[in-house]
Structure 1
Amino acid sequence: MPLWFILFGALGFVFACLCPGAEQAALAQNVVLENDYVKYVIGGDGKNISFLAKHTGMDYTGAPPGRPFVTIKKAGREYQPTSCSFDEGRIILRFQPPGVAVVIKYLARKHYFVFEVEAPSDPAVEELRLVNLTVTSSKYVSGISGVAADDDFAVSLRVLNLKANARIGGKPVLLECVCSQQHGITGAKVALVGCPAAEIRAVLKEVIHNEGLPESPLGGPWALDAPENRGSYVFARVSEANVDQWIALAKKGGIAQVHFIGWERTLGHYEPRPDLFPRGLAGLKATVEKIHAARLRAGMHTLTGCIAPSDPWVTPVPDKRLAKDATFTLAAPLDEAAQTVPTVEMPHEFDTVWAYAGRGNVIRIDDELIQFSGLARNPPFGFLGCKRGAFGTKPARHEKGAAVDHLFVRYQSFQPDENSTLVDELADAIAHVFNTCGFDMIYMDGAEGMSGGWYGVARMREAIFRRLKGRVLVEASEWGYHS
């Protein structure tokens, strides 16, 4: 036997003994996932190997090769898996370091895959990224639909709940699902589609219907087939008194829809304005019915999560579920007339005026709202030039140590805390008017103003949409992935 063969064999044995993880990765079998359209292979080291389209025989995995199917972040550091295995519908990934195991439940549907995250073995995992697949099909890329396609093959990543967000883009196109402790890692769920390009709309319809996503016969993969999407609309200050004039104008201009703006008494509870609709909701409904009788459609404008300062959720007692973006501690007792609010902590660089484009100058202490016009950002800290009992709330005494909440404001409106039941109550108020009156379209304007970033926007919009009845056309001002 040659000496070099013996030496290399001995070195291999020593390496395997000293580095058992390397030996395990080398010996581990690939994880092969298949459905009618694709064969997806993940290596025994947890890295994506191939994404093969059965109808073309081509591998659509993009460069760089070997991106990990799952990564985790712990203590601010990202880790890649060292091994990957498959056991009875579960993909098991191990990370050494930091000694963490992650299990992904797997389901092969006829035309797509479903992945769901089980609890990581270490609750200190801060973030998990799933799929992390680069693809070469990149002629058509849409971050909203989650699609990357060319003329022959299409790939789509659709998150199936609000525990995760998706990112689609770059060169080559990367599709990844991102979930974090903030919204929950356990239970995050995603569908991965790979199919002939001509079938992508049909498969996305399957995903939406089978997996319980919000479904509209006028939106998403159904949108191209809906005639309602091809009409124009006019913004109109409609009333019981002038509806006939708006109908005549729409008919003359070939406009398909009359869109109601400024119809509500307040953003929030969304009761009809009595000067426009003296008969209240009954009058608004009759107005919509008149538009329908003229073979036109009626649209309803909202500002999504916005709650007006004059709404009952704000005045005379502000709801505790209004969103806040900072909290301070009252440094001394406060009487009803004091115009300075002392705080233990230094205030942030807040706006000091109430303006449409501003971020608000309102703090809440107990049941009182206070507007400030100055900031003390050097000791002694606090809010200066205060107007007590703002927006019809009552000036009151407050004890040292009380919470001083800076309220989240967009477009001169407050917003519901995205994790509170106020989201649901606001959605109920909007849906009640929409469904009672039989509107055809809703415009979720100002959606980007919701607190909580992408999650807050998606939570508020989904809460509204799931309550609406009929063939609902949706317009919105926010074009995020969950749109």
Structure 2
Amino acid sequence: MEALFLSLLFAVSTVHLHENGTALTVETDYVRWDIGTKGETRSLLDKSTEEELMSAENQKAFSSVLFEGKEWKATEISPSEKGYRILYGASGVEAEFRIQSYPHYFSLSVHSLNNPSVEALTLLDLSLNLPAGEEEKTTACVLAANLRTHVPDLPGPASRLRASAVKAFGIVGAQVNIILCPGAMLRPIMKEAVENSPELPRHKNQSVPPVGGPWALDASANKGSYLFDFGTLTEDTVDEWIDLVQQLGFRQIDFHTGTSLRFGDLTPNEKLFPEGRKSVKSVIDRLHGAGIAAGLHTYAFFIAKNSPYVTPVPDPRLGKDEQFTLDKDLGETGDALFVAESTEKVKTDTGFFARNSVTLQVENELIVFSGVTREPPFSFTGCVRGAHGTRASSHAAGTPVYKLKECFGLFLPDGNSTLLTEIAAVTADTFNECGFDMIYLDALDGSDIFEGPENSWYYAPKFAFEIAQRLERPALFEMSTMSHHLWFIRARMGAWDHPARSHKRFIDLHCEVNRQNSTMFLPMNLGWWAVKNWQPGAASAWSEPTWPDDIEYLLCKALANGASLSLMGVNPDNLDTMPAFERLLPLFKTYETARLSGMVAEEIKEQLRAPGAEFTLKTTDNESFSFYPAATYKHTVDFSDPFSLDWAVENPFDEQPVRFRIETLLSPASFDSQEAQVLLDYTRPEALNVQKNNDGVSAEIAITESPLNENEHVAAFTLLSTRENARGSWAQIGAAFSPPVNAGAKAGLGCFVYGDGSGALLNLQTLSAAHTAAGGIGDHYIPLDFTGWRYISVVEFESGAIPQWHWPYGDQYSIYREHVDFGALESFSFWFNNLPKDKTVHCKIGPVKALPLLEGSLKESALIINGSTLSLPVTISSGCCLEYDPQKGAFLYNEKGEVLAQFSPSETILLKKGTNSIRLTAANGAALPAARARITILTEGTVPLH
């Protein structure tokens, strides 16, 4: 308290009043801020260099209000009894600010406001001229001092400083801390500002230092890697879990609740924990004894439908999005519920990500409906009475009918009710009593369901803060979303859901985003990761196995970027069924040991960080770590396409024995198959109802008779680009399906294409309906580097190539993770790209069919490299893989990674330095369905990094 009093005295002494147009000057050790009598910034000066930090055009009023729907800038500032009085023009609004200066930062707070009808008040809006990321230069940052203060930017260096408050959450009392200092001093001063903000959450035992926000880089635990448990870790299995974690070299376990502890009330599953929290604590005590930390992974404030908050009597504080009035008496058995209000806007679509439910709460009964009558008399139909263990009962006309909110298949509390606080308290109590070390608030990204996405910034940290301030000791907090306030308690950042395909490109993107986010001074994570096996059926179109070179790429980039890992999908119960994973355990531990040892020099890490650059780690007897450059080259062979049978590989390293992997893929049925399904046949030209193109690109379509089949039509496309760069010269012509088309599991596509040899790119794209939660982008690329007609069939998504074409769509999840539900196709589109400048491109496309996928095999195959043949005397069936390393021999694995056969070829084929011609043959190459395979050539350098 004494230190705070002295700081306030100092604050008063460093705010000076002036005349000649300057109302006041606020100073710290580093900068001087002159504010004019009209509320404008007259100068913001770096005291060490005498440089202005704001250009003249940005020296405007720093505050404004939103009143009666109009923005009013500050027009006058003058001293008042408790601070400074600010007027906002003809609006009549007056606010009293406290402007305080500390040695290292400023503070602005709203002390009073003369009109409670003001919708919003901007405390601060300054645009600066600052270089980013230079430690010797002045760096700027703003930090909210309490929950009601909205700062739209994440903590860290910024060139625009903004803070505001809104009527809904309270304007008076809003406060923001403004830091302008040398870059090297930013984190220590952030600590100072947070410590001096008593409204930010504090754990109870202040003898234990914080581990989140500006302290996150100080805590070694924040750099640890963790393994997920989804409900098999118990007192009986804890020793097996300890052994597995230690084999990985990890130090933490994340208890993903839902099965182990129920979402919402966090009651332990009595089958797993017979003595409730006591049993959970017993498990955690044993983990602690082995040096392993435990994480409580919840679905934030979301509530399971079998929770006591739902059944047998639903809590009146459950979140609701609509209210109706019962128009007729409802008996105990009626399956139609009539209401007085319109149901026109009621939706019946549900799904994991959908912010919608089909559950009504009428007094103490929950009712699930399947239909809605949208014209009078308005009603909910197909009602299941007494849903979720509630009791069906009679309800009189005039009774309120509430439609519950739902997301992720779970209910939630009213965001302004005591139930939200109660669930936060339960979370904190569970953490404290059981001895957890970490908290992951999953599903916190669903906070938009409270009052819309524009208010998520408030409700997500509101819940998190309610937990944090009840903790006996600090938690290693992570969340599934990020906003300004969450930073104050967050201890680690970067966990993403694992990709399904193009793993290495996804890792590069993840590393780049982590690098950008490192300005927040939080340790980064490069998970969540999963070791994936072959996926059968339609899933093979969007899901690729993870191979040892994928995992080593992940581990290498984690080490190079100082990121921890998180791993899911493996546990002591299923480890025996995942032989491929058993081969990877030593690799995980070796890299974790290297990452945490500090023995890898920064100069080496800098080389390892390069996107796309591959390496392999080798250890020596003296436990030193050597990294060798490596490279992999993938190619897909389709025996129905003779142009795919030959390809070339550039080996940048010295001549070496070839190493490779052959995966046999599924094959699409023939175009004439009885199971094939027409997606687009041009009999209704108006069906091509989606068209757009980039600036400088024109696209036209004409429907003509097919020269291939007199009973069919073809679409003739004419495209022209005037853009300088071919990449990004895109155009789309497609069909939106309403209702969605059900193609079942037919994930293959087939059509005849007429190419003009222009080198333009054709993309056959499938998207599924939004309500399916299958948000993947099904891109299939066909270079128009041929002339005349050619039959094209495609299966696997081209995710790894999507970013290079500068399409106007796609984020990391839709490109690399999410799938397409072929049972609910929302659209099919022809996209074009790579159009040569000022050259007309002509392309014709026949009817497009969805094709079922069939199993195939490679029999008596051979790989021919530079004319030398390596015979492979085994049958490689779909889902199986043959790996060959001359030092180990050849191994045939099934889809689970189990060894089916092993042999050692008598000949050794060399891959020369430079260009190598490669061809794949098979005895059954001409058989139907035509076999398809993905071949990966692996190469390695002989000189380690220095």
Q: 1:448/1:253 Cα in 2 relative to 1: closer, same or farther (>3 Å)?
A: same
Hey, what's the Cα distance between the residues in 1 that align with 2:180 and 2:52?
11
Hey, what's the Cα distance between the residues in 1 that align with 2:372 and 2:305?
22
For residue 180 of structure 1, the aligned residue among 166, 173, 177 is 166
- Name 1:455's counterpart in structure 2: 458
For residue 84 of structure 1, the aligned residue among 74, 77, 91 is 77
1:29–1:85 CA contact under 8 A, matched in 2: no
> Shift in Å at residue 138 of structure 1?
4.9
> Shift in Å at residue 431 of structure 1?
1.3
Q: 1:267/1:475 Cα in 2 relative to 1: closer, same or farther (>3 Å)?
A: same
Whichever residue aligns with residue 209 of structure 1, its letter is E
Deviates more, 1:375-384 or 1:437-446: 375-384
Q: Percent identity?
A: 35
Instruction: Return the index of the structure with the highest Cα Rg.
Output: 2
Q: 1:434/1:63 Cα in 2 relative to 1: closer, same or farther (>3 Å)?
A: farther
1:28–1:83 CA contact under 8 A, matched in 2: no
- Name 1:50's counterpart in structure 2: 43
- Name 1:217's counterpart in structure 2: 210
Hey, what's the Cα distance between the residues in 2 that align with 1:348 and 1:455?
31
- Name 2:108's counterpart in structure 1: 115
> Shift in Å at residue 396 of structure 1?
2.3
Per the alignment, in what secondary structure is the counterpart of residue 259 of structure 1?
Answer: strand
Q: What is the 5 A alignment of 1:395-474?
A: 395-450=392-447, 451-452=450-451, 453-474=456-477
For residue 236 of structure 2, the aligned residue among 237, 241, 247 is 241
Hey, what's the Cα distance between the residues in 1 that align with 2:56 and 2:410?
46
> Shift in Å at residue 341 of structure 1?
2.3
Whichever residue aligns with residue 394 of structure 1, its letter is R
Is 1:136 equivalent to 2:136 in the alignment?
Answer: no
For residue 254 of structure 1, the aligned residue among 243, 249, 253 is 249
> Shift in Å at residue 404 of structure 1?
2.0
Per the alignment, in what secondary structure is the counterpart of residue 328 of structure 2?
Answer: coil
Q: 1:91/1:198 Cα in 2 relative to 1: closer, same or farther (>3 Å)?
A: same
> Shift in Å at residue 268 of structure 1?
1.4
For residue 311 of structure 1, the aligned residue among 294, 307, 314 is 307
> Shift in Å at residue 279 of structure 1?
2.3
1:418–1:459 CA contact under 8 A, matched in 2: no
Q: 1:239/1:110 Cα in 2 relative to 1: closer, same or farther (>3 Å)?
A: same
Q: 1:87/1:326 Cα in 2 relative to 1: closer, same or farther (>3 Å)?
A: same
Hey, what's the Cα distance between the residues in 2 that align with 1:365 and 1:315?
13
Hey, what's the Cα distance between the residues in 1 that align with 2:126 and 2:379?
50
> Shift in Å at residue 271 of structure 1?
1.5
Whichever residue aligns with residue 447 of structure 1, its letter is L
> Shift in Å at residue 63 of structure 1?
6.8
Hey, what's the Cα distance between the residues in 2 that align with 1:444 and 1:421?
19
Hey, what's the Cα distance between the residues in 1 that align with 2:228 and 2:295?
9
Q: 1:162/1:303 Cα in 2 relative to 1: closer, same or farther (>3 Å)?
A: same
> Shift in Å at residue 88 of structure 1?
5.2
- Name 1:31's counterpart in structure 2: 24
Q: 1:62/1:394 Cα in 2 relative to 1: closer, same or farther (>3 Å)?
A: farther
Q: 1:91/1:387 Cα in 2 relative to 1: closer, same or farther (>3 Å)?
A: same
1:233–1:258 CA contact under 8 A, matched in 2: yes
> Shift in Å at residue 388 of structure 1?
1.7
Per the alignment, in what secondary structure is the counterpart of residue 186 of structure 2?
Answer: helix
Instruction: Return the TM-score normalized by structure 2.
Output: 0.46
- Name 2:193's counterpart in structure 1: 207
> Shift in Å at residue 421 of structure 1?
1.3
> Shift in Å at residue 79 of structure 1?
0.8
Is 1:98 equivalent to 2:98 in the alignment?
Answer: no
- Name 2:266's counterpart in structure 1: 270
1:347–1:381 CA contact under 8 A, matched in 2: yes
- Name 1:152's counterpart in structure 2: 137
Q: What is the 5 A alignment of 1:378-389?
A: 378-389=375-386
> Shift in Å at residue 273 of structure 1?
1.0
2:364–2:391 CA contact under 8 A, matched in 1: yes
Is 1:352 equivalent to 2:348 in the alignment?
Answer: yes
Deviations 1:103-151 (A, max 9, x none): 11222222222222133212221111111111222525xxxxxxxx765
1:346–1:376 CA contact under 8 A, matched in 2: no
Hey, what's the Cα distance between the residues in 2 that align with 1:178 and 1:373?
43
Hey, what's the Cα distance between the residues in 2 that align with 1:205 and 1:348?
52
Whichever residue aligns with residue 208 of structure 1, its letter is V
Q: 1:41/1:343 Cα in 2 relative to 1: closer, same or farther (>3 Å)?
A: farther
1:167–1:175 CA contact under 8 A, matched in 2: no
Q: 1:173/1:179 Cα in 2 relative to 1: closer, same or farther (>3 Å)?
A: same
For residue 60 of structure 1, the aligned residue among 42, 53, 58 is 53
> Shift in Å at residue 285 of structure 1?
0.6
> Shift in Å at residue 261 of structure 1?
2.0
For residue 293 of structure 2, the aligned residue among 283, 292, 297 is 297
Whichever residue aligns with residue 163 of structure 1, its letter is R
Hey, what's the Cα distance between the residues in 2 that align with 1:360 and 1:287?
37
Which ranges in structure 2 are unaligned for 5 or more consecutive residues? 1-18, 203-208, 487-946
Deviations 1:344-370 (A, max 9, x none): 322364442553222221121222211
> Shift in Å at residue 59 of structure 1?
2.0
Hey, what's the Cα distance between the residues in 2 that align with 1:301 and 1:62?
47
1:364–1:406 CA contact under 8 A, matched in 2: yes
Per the alignment, in what secondary structure is the counterpart of residue 42 of structure 2?
Answer: strand
> Shift in Å at residue 397 of structure 1?
2.4
Q: 1:274/1:28 Cα in 2 relative to 1: closer, same or farther (>3 Å)?
A: same
Q: What is the 5 A alignment of 1:336-351?
A: 336-347=332-343, 349-351=345-347
Whichever residue aligns with residue 214 of structure 1, its letter is P
- Name 1:19's counterpart in structure 2: none
- Name 2:900's counterpart in structure 1: none
Instruction: Return the TM-score normalized by structure 1.
Output: 0.87
- Name 1:11's counterpart in structure 2: none
Whichever residue aligns with residue 319 of structure 1, its letter is D
Whichever residue aligns with residue 227 of structure 2, its letter is V
> Shift in Å at residue 479 of structure 1?
1.0
Deviates more, 1:385-394 or 1:202-211: 385-394
Deviates more, 1:469-478 or 1:436-445: 469-478
Hey, what's the Cα distance between the residues in 1 that align with 2:48 and 2:238?
56
Deviates more, 1:439-448 or 1:468-477: 468-477
Q: 1:376/1:294 Cα in 2 relative to 1: closer, same or farther (>3 Å)?
A: same
For residue 362 of structure 1, the aligned residue among 341, 359, 363 is 359
Deviates more, 1:227-236 or 1:46-55: 46-55
Hey, what's the Cα distance between the residues in 2 that align with 1:439 and 1:62?
50
Whichever residue aligns with residue 440 of structure 1, its letter is D
Hey, what's the Cα distance between the residues in 2 that align with 1:48 and 1:396?
66
Whichever residue aligns with residue 300 of structure 1, its letter is L
Q: 1:401/1:437 Cα in 2 relative to 1: closer, same or farther (>3 Å)?
A: same
Moved over 3 A (4+): 26-29, 262-265, 348-351
For residue 320 of structure 2, the aligned residue among 306, 324, 334 is 324
Q: 1:478/1:279 Cα in 2 relative to 1: closer, same or farther (>3 Å)?
A: same
Per the alignment, in what secondary structure is the counterpart of residue 211 of structure 1?
Answer: coil
- Name 2:493's counterpart in structure 1: none
Q: 1:377/1:50 Cα in 2 relative to 1: closer, same or farther (>3 Å)?
A: farther
For residue 64 of structure 2, the aligned residue among 52, 64, 71 is 71
Q: What is the 5 A alignment of 1:273-288?
A: 273-288=269-284
> Shift in Å at residue 272 of structure 1?
1.2
Deviations 1:78-110 (A, max 9, x none): 111221113355121112211111111222222
